[in-house]
Amino acid sequence: MCRLLGYLGPAIQLDHLLYKPEHSLVVQSYQPKEMTSGVVNADGLGIGWYPTEGNADPFTYKSTVPIWNDTNLPELSRYIQSKCALGYVRSATAGQALDLSNCQPFRDNRLLFIHNGNIEKFRSTLYRPIRDRLSDAVYQSINGTTDSEHIFALIVNTLQALPDTTIAKALETTLMTLTELAKAHSVSFSGNVVISDGHHLIASRYAHGTSTPSLYWLRDDPMYPNAVIIASEPLFTGNWNSCPESSIFSVGENLEVYIHQLV
């Protein structure tokens, strides 16, 4: 299982999220505490961030090396500041290629997406049914082979088909679609997701037919005032809250927090 991280708040150097906490994303890559499958997250990394000014599209930095072996990220993370950032270290599902096209975050215009989980027997079960539900434009936008990118494609497809819907609603619709497909094909899936448009953080803690991966959130910690952090595992000792299972967690521009329990 991969490890995820999302941040929304005042502009911060990325190394304060990736390296400095006692149980940082780097530490979680080689010494995770709550993974339900796998041992380490050594199959690549990805960081996405939004510029501190304006509404430009986000930037991403990806690599297929373990995050602890990346020689560029420590320097970049000391230089880059952002009010909204996502981080990810990968534990690849068996059989999935280790290349940049399969590294997250995935991006569509202003949207960034990261996923922790998997669809059981993806290539032989839900691969085709998911693709059959996509518009041609979204279908053609898929560059990799992971179940994660196909889940993102379903979300983007919903947002394009229903321009007035919210990211949270599109995520809920996608999770319900996946649940219906999983039931029809007698497979399980887990769908911990973090999505952002630079102004909001939307996350889910969800699974069908299998254990739900861990996900936590924290707001207004003394070391990170006026900010919300979402993470697969707590980054440091603090007042972390476990996201409820089968829920969607939304953080607004004013850092108001909403938790929507899924039926």
Catalytic residues: 2
Using CA atoms, how far apart are residues 189 and 39, in angstroms rounded to an integer?
Answer: 19
SS3 content of the chain, % helix, strand, coil (to 5): 25, 30, 45
Tokens (6 digits) for 163: 């321009």
DSSP, residue by residue, 164-213: TS-HHHHHHHHHHHHHHHHHHTT--EE-EEEEE-SS-EEEEE-EESSPPP
Q: Helix 147-161 vs helix 167-184: angle between axes, to the nearest 10 degrees? A: 130
Residue 155: closest CA among 211, 114, 210: 114
Classify 74 as helix, strand or coil: helix
Q: Which residue has the tokens 């279908």?
A: 139
